[in-house]
Amino acid sequence: MSGMLALESESHATNPLDVLEQILGANEWVCERPSEREMVAEAPGKWCDYAMFFSWAPEMSAMHFSCAFDMKVPQNRRAPLFELLSLANEKLWIGHFGLESEEGVPVYRHAVLLRGAPGASAESLEDLVDIALNECERFFPAFQFVLWGGKPPKEALEAAMLDCVGEA
């Protein structure tokens, strides 16, 4: 692999959490930096508030991001939820949905590689957060239909993905 031939003098990307902290602050969202490598934040949504977690790994020049729903999945509803996650992931271009195993919370996850770049732009980080929140909002009704409405995953996804045309 050509990547293994990288020069040792090549610098790592700057910490994108510094830029994200400014973006989240400008939106007046609560955020906290437990360390230089981690940041947690809360963003309001139409359906619920979302807990966001950002983790920076400078040795890989990579940032991991997750956006957790404010809901817990009961053990007896996990099988249909896993089917829904699979169907929903087929519709995503960026990131994926998963289930946090210990807490039983649905999450949207994405990672950004920044090797060779001086850092992530404010625009790309804003897009990262916007895309995550939009996808969570878009699929939230399907999660509700499966978890609390008892709908089959395919039917729940179809119902949630209906696009309204015109005005009432």
The model carries a pTM of 0.85
**Phi/psi at 29 (5° precision):** -95, 140
Model confidence over 55-92: pLDDT tens digits? 999 998 899 999 999 999 999 889 999 999 999 999 99
Asked if pLDDT for residue 20 goes beyond 50, the answer is yes
Angle 28-29-32 from CA coordinates, rounded to 5°: 120
> What residue ranges do the domains of the chain occupy?
11-160
Angle 60-66-72 from CA coordinates, rounded to 5°: 145
Domain 11-160 has CATH 3.30.70.100: no
CA pair distance 84, 146, nearest whole angstrom: 8
